[in-house]
Amino acid sequence: MDQLLEKYFIAKEKLKDLQELVNYYKEEIEDNLDDSKKEYYKGLMYGVERKSITVNKVSKKDLPEDIWDEYCKPCKITSLHITKNGEKLRRISRSPTRRRSR
């Protein structure tokens, strides 16, 4: 059991490191899109398209309409759609709070 727990711990640490690397790459991609003032890029092997969606965090059916109208706060989420040319889209979503400030 100790060996299994050690392997699990090591795997979790690797996963954490890889997630940090993925987040770094996402930020770099978004920075490049910002610099080029574009919402998409298509290269030789891969393409990316940035889309923003707005979602509400509360179920409207659970609230009276006047309360919903007064307190509903939209939440904007940016997602990157990464494609390998000739393949289906893969979406990488990111919460707006995760974006580093400039």
- Residue 100: the pLDDT is 45
- Residue 34: the pLDDT is 93
Q: State the Cα–Cα distance between residues 79 and 30, nearest whole angstrom.
A: 10
Structural domain boundaries, residue 40: 2-98
Number of compact structural domains in the chain: 1
Report residues of the chain scoring pLDDT below 70.
56, 87-102
pTM exceeds 0.75, yes or no: no
